[in-house]
Amino acid sequence: MNSTNDTCCEASGSPAPSGPMRSFRFLIRGLHPRLLTVCPFGAILSRPMWVFRYLPVGCTHGYSRLAPSGHPAPRRSPLLSLAFCLILLPCGLFARGPLLKRHEYSLPRMGTIFRIELYSADEAAASKAAEAAFARAEELEQIMSNYREDSELMRLAREGASAPFPVSSDLYDVLSKSIRISELSRGAFDVTVGPLVELWRKARTMGRFPDASELAQAKALVDCRNLELDATRRTVFLKRAGMKLDLGAIGKGYAADQMLTLLQSRGFRQAMVVAGGEVAVGAPPPGETGWRVALETPDAGPGNPPCTLLLHDAAVSTSGDSKQFVEVNGKRYSHVIDPSTGLGLEGAASTTVIAKEAATTDALGTALSVMPVADGIRLAESLSGVAVYMVRQVGNGWKRYASRGFPAGCPGR
């Protein structure tokens, strides 16, 4: 997913599009969204140069600062001007909305860059909300990290096999969602994959294939049916000692959802959260029909630009091995592991999932990467509001597959 890794946590308050004409159109349509919703002449306003040509000076009050710089002085016909003035005046009364600006913030979280984009007229309130959203991500990292020895997840791994371990509502929630995806994918997604992930991390540093006995030992500990959740007591019990949980394929999506919910609860509905490759978006930016999300697929290159989705009130994730893989004996293994074989996936591939929540798109993206293509498409089509797009390397070329409901526009779709 296209996540620009901008410099840390500086808010940028510039209007979104660049270039005088684009920014002018944006200002008309973007900064005065109420004008377009209330005014029955929205279509006229979407051709702003034409309108300005006939507007008398007195009638441009409230719009004059929107005029593009360096544009030739408008030619005005007095009669047409008067007519437009009378028509547009009532609309102008509604157009005194606040000046919405795009603000962008980014910070490192969960081993990647998290980014927030939102529209607001109040810069101070926007930064405060973004700060709170990043604090929420930090809180979740402290719960879900398997790099921090003192995280709740690591404590659960140490103590959860001797007795049911009481967990926070976040950990309970993310584990329940994980179990649901494991059931749907028949174990292709499995958060108990920890021992295998550890083994493959070692293989990566040592540059050698894990040996058969190590693989068998690790694989024996991977089965999320050995994870017992008790909803009334909010406890988790690990039925086998040595089990290790890994939320690497769902945690960032869960965090993106939580951050977006927090921003929306503070009134920032026009917001987007990008957590590495997981994207959660709210209401569209002013004057737009959605947020543009460019997909990172391995077939993109010169002559085949990344395809772009336009989304609102939705989430999208791409699971792929473009950056994270191990190369052993000339073979490339993805960081995504097939729990049934214990091996990293082979061959360049990407799986993009669209759904309501980023926890779902994140986990399903990983699950459908592991599953055979036809099974993955069938599963996606059986779930309401879910769509998938897959790119798989076949020989020297690419094959692309899309489920019903995946938006048109990507190659092969």
By the criterion CB under 6 A, which residues form the site for ligand AMP?
A: 189-191, 193, 197, 246, 248-249, 319, 335-337, 339, 362, 365-366, 370
Tokens of residue 382, six digits: 């059986």
d(CA 248, CA 251): 6
Q: How far is the CB of 337 from Mg ion (least distance, A)?
A: 12
Contact call for residue 257 and Mg ion (CB under 5 A): no
Closest CA to 195 of 258, 245, 260, 250: 245
Q: Considering only residues 30, 285, 365, 376, which one is a binding residue for Mg ion as defined by CB under 5 A?
A: 365
What gap in Å lies between CA 330 and CA 397, rounded to an integer? 20
Work out how close the CB of 348 gets to ligand AMP at its nearest, in angstroms, rounded to a whole number: 14
CB of 179 to ligand AMP, least distance (A): 12
- Cβ-based nearer residue to Mg ion, 45 or 249: 249
* Least spacing, CB of residue 27 vs ligand AMP, in Å: 38
Nearer to ligand AMP, 120 or 369 (CB): 369
- Using CB under 5 A as the binding rule, whether residue 362 contacts Mg ion is answered as yes
Nearest one of 157, 151, 191, 160 to 175, comparing CA atoms: 191
Which of 120, 403 has the CB closer to ligand AMP? Answer: 403
The single-letter code of the amino acid at 229 is L
Of 36, 106, 85, the residue nearest 275 (C-alpha) = 106
In the complex, the smallest distance separating the C-beta of residue 353 from Mg ion, rounded to whole angstroms, is 9
Residue 193's binding partner out of Mg ion, ligand AMP, none, with CB under 5 to 8 Å set by partner kind: ligand AMP
If binding is defined by CB under 5 A, does position 249 make contact with Mg ion?
yes
Q: How far is the CB of 232 from ligand AMP (least distance, A)?
A: 27
d(CA 245, CA 131): 29
Q: Which CB contacts under 8 angstroms, 24+ apart, belong to 30-33?
A: 30/100, 30/285, 30/286, 30/287, 30/288, 31/66, 31/97, 31/99, 31/100, 31/286, 32/95, 32/97, 33/97, 33/100, 33/286, 33/287
- Nearer to Mg ion by C-beta: 236 or 355? 355
Q: Which window, 46-54, 114-122, 337-345, 354-362, contacts Mg ion (CB under 5 A)?
A: 354-362
Burial group, residue 72, by CB count within 10 angstroms (0-12, 13-18, 19+)? exposed
Cα Rg of the chain, angstroms? 25
335 contact, one of Mg ion, ligand AMP, none, CB 5-8 Å limit per kind: ligand AMP
What distance in Å separates the CA atoms of residue 132 and residue 161, rounded to the nearest whole number? 35
- Select 321 or 362, whichever has its Cβ closest to Mg ion: 362
Closest-by-Cβ residue to ligand AMP is 248
Interface positions with Mg ion (CB under 5 A): 249, 319, 362, 365-366
